[in-house]
Amino acid sequence: MTFERPRVVFAYDFDGTLAPGNMQEHAFIPRELGMAHEDFWAEVKLLARAQRGDPILAYMHLMLAKARAKNVELTEESWKRRGADLPLFPGVEGWFERQNARAAELELDLRHFIISSGNRELIEGSPIAHHFEKIYASAFMFDEAGDAIGPALAVNYTSKTQYLFRINKWTLEEWDEVAINKVLAKDDRPVPFDRIAFFGDGLTDIPTMRLVTDQGGAAVAVYNPDSARSMAAARELRDDGRAHMAGPADYTENAPLDCLAQALLTEMSARAHARNLVAWPTDPARRSPSPLVGEGGLRRRSDEGAIALAVQNI
């Protein structure tokens, strides 16, 4: 698979990264369920423990069970309406087009993704939804009447990494379980990890940041400068070696995060275009031309070799 311009990706967590707080806490929990959000999350924790389950599935279940008890509307449309009012950090709305324009100048094809444990339906209703190639987030299943009846997809801290591999192999559909597991040699993957930058802020981002960092991509810790807790979380991500870059959650032009994004794009562009300039001599001993290609990598010579490479890569 080839793309006209080298494809690069900015992937973002949502809560605490692009938007302050948890998305359910702004209106849904306090106004529609009539609860303090601390009480809601405490109940989620108790339920997950009691059921020996996943807290993501527990919060999704409780959202629906409590909403049903209060006769709250559960259609996809209603979730999107709730999402439309989510507050965002400063400058977020103008960020994507500015980065896209820079990427185009650098002859890169930049795509944006969300990888969040929050609700997909809420993010899809937000005014920035159209900027994303895909919004990977926890999603509800809907019945024939159009009402949410249970979870269809739960994205937790470790399943977040699955979506990085989906981007890496450009196998983007959530439901696909075949193509994502096919062997694809590192050199043949449409978006190498060193062309992925992940922006995140906390606990659910740790395995994702670890993976991005270990594979040569950029893990950026975003923090709220008005929150001591958020800044402590960023320092912890740095101290534990999960993130190696950081910036305050201000997405306006020329803010530190914006300058960092520009530098990352420049670096990715230089690396991608250098790779395209690699010209190895033809090896006369081999029947097929140029078996050795860019980044010192070995191109697939046999299925056996490809499997060995894939195992090494995952």
Q: Footprint of Mg ion on this chain (CB under 5 A)?
A: 13, 15-16, 201-202
Contact between residue 151 and residue 172 where contact means Cβ atoms under 8 Å apart: no
Sign of CA dihedral 126, 128, 131, 132: negative
Beta carbon nearer to Mg ion, 110 or 137: 137
CB of 27 to Mg ion, least distance (A): 19
Beta carbon nearer to Mg ion, 6 or 202: 202
Beta carbon nearer to Mg ion, 96 or 198: 198
Structure token pair of residue 43: 């109940």
Beta carbon nearer to Mg ion, 218 or 272: 218
Beta carbon nearer to Mg ion, 79 or 199: 199
Beta carbon nearer to Mg ion, 83 or 202: 202
Residue with smallest beta-carbon separation from Mg ion: 16
CB of 203 to Mg ion, least distance (A): 8
Q: What is the DSSP string of 34-103?
A: ---HHHHHHHHHHHHHHHT--HHHHHHHHHHHHHHHTT---BHHHHHHHHHT----TTHHHHHHHHHHHH
Q: List the one residue out of 216, 220, 219 whose CA is nearest residue 295.
A: 216
Q: List the one residue out of 152, 146, 127 whose CA is nearest residue 136.
A: 152
Q: Is 119 helix (H, G, I), strand (E, B) or coil?
A: strand
Q: List the one residue out of 56, 52, 68, 48 whose CA is nearest residue 22.
A: 56
d(CA 179, CA 181): 5
Q: Please state the φ and ψ torsions of residue 44, each to the nearest 5 degrees.
A: -60, -45
Beta carbon nearer to Mg ion, 104 or 232: 232
What are 87's strand-pairing partners?
A: none
CB of 14 to Mg ion, least distance (A): 7
CB of 18 to Mg ion, least distance (A): 9
CB of 120 to Mg ion, least distance (A): 15
CB of 202 to Mg ion, least distance (A): 5
Beta carbon nearer to Mg ion, 99 or 230: 230
Q: Strands (DSSP E) along 93-244, which ranges?
A: 109-119, 132-142, 148-153, 196-200, 218-223
Beta carbon nearer to Mg ion, 201 or 258: 201
CB of 223 to Mg ion, least distance (A): 11
Type of residue at 290: S
CB of 200 to Mg ion, least distance (A): 6
Strands 148-153 and 132-142 come out as antiparallel
Around Cβ 46, how many Cβ atoms within 10 Å? 11
Structure token pair of residue 55: 């807290």
Structure token pair of residue 260: 């960092």
CB of 169 to Mg ion, least distance (A): 25
